[in-house]
Amino acid sequence: MKVAVLGAGAIGAYVGAALHRAGADVHLIARGPHLAAMRRHGVRVRSPRGDFTARAHATDDPAEVGPADYVFLGLKANSYAACGPLIRPLLHESTAVVAAQNGIPWWYFHRHGGPHDGRRIESVDPGGAVSAVLAPERAVGCVVYAATELEAPGVVRHLEGTRFSVGEPGRGVSDRCVRFSEAMRAGGLKCPVEPDLRDDIWVKLLGNISFNPISALSRATMAQMCRHGGTRRVIEIMMSETLAVARALGCEPGVSVERRLAGAERVGDHRTSTLQDLERGKPLELDVLLAAVVELAEITGVPVPTLRTVHALSDLLALRSAA
């Protein structure tokens, strides 16, 4: 199995290292000091489950890699529309693109069935720009429950979690999902193939849609947001509104707001990825987390006043931080 990891940052390099350990032919595509360090020393993983080093091929030139069986997409979702020149050399006619993104994916209504089948979500696929680069037929959905960070160039700190749920947009269990799952499990990760991944998408989104923008607006950690009465109540309402949208689309995430909050509080003083991006001057990945759900609420007629308010505030923050 040949796997190209496009965007081999903290999550991408961690997955690439695990797949390499399992015997897959792995190619890590990155740039800058991180690439230089991986070329010299491999990917060094530091984890409570045991440290290890994977010396997979690393490059900044996808043409050097050529077509792969799977492309694991570790880029932020707001980079997808511009990734055409990078991903095209990695594709053959049956290459699967495993998109490890937070939030609502561009393929959400692909083979969805029902009244919204094939509908494009403008906030995540503006003008079809993402679908033009990443054909929905290639997509294998992936919901990431692992937390990692780049401790230093070439050094991935694994904080918690090893689950990467995968699934087909058209539901069911496909051979390509099973093969990818087997390779991930051989590398020491959990990788269940979900018959309908959309439920998992909403479970993960319950946290991202609330904690990520609120953390950027307040500069607070997970535990601080949970322990402050005011922000905790706002987050509860945001989660409840999100559940209402999910159910209007036929999904049942299977987790209560109380349980989701309790799990988040246990994470402790962790800074969300959105807060980290804000502090580093990087673009904020909020369209797929928040704008998309507001758009879906409009489609389904579900009232989401708190989501709309937080979206307006965080959208202005994103515009100002990008200026």
Pair of tokens at residue 92: 């053959």
The number of angstroms, rounded, from the C-alpha of 141 to the middle of its chain's C-alpha atoms is: 9
The whole-angstrom separation of Cα 124 and Cα 81 is 10
How is the beta sheet containing 52-54 ordered, strand by strand? 52-54, 43-46, 155-160, 147-152
If one counts every other C-beta atom within 10 angstroms of the C-beta of residue 167, the result is: 25
Q: Would residue 321 be called left, alpha or beta, if left means φ above 0 and alpha means ψ between -120 and 50 degrees?
A: alpha
Decide if 169 contacts 156 (C-beta within 8 A). Answer: no
- Fill in the amino acid letter for 216: A
Q: Which of 2, 76, 204, 282 is catalytic?
A: 204
The whole-angstrom separation of Cα 209 and Cα 173 is 28
190 is catalytic: no
Pair of tokens at residue 88: 């095209």
- Fill in the amino acid letter for 177: C
The whole-angstrom separation of Cα 291 and Cα 268 is 27
Element (H, E) at 298: helix 292-300
The whole-angstrom separation of Cα 193 and Cα 195 is 7
Active centre residues (catalytic): 204
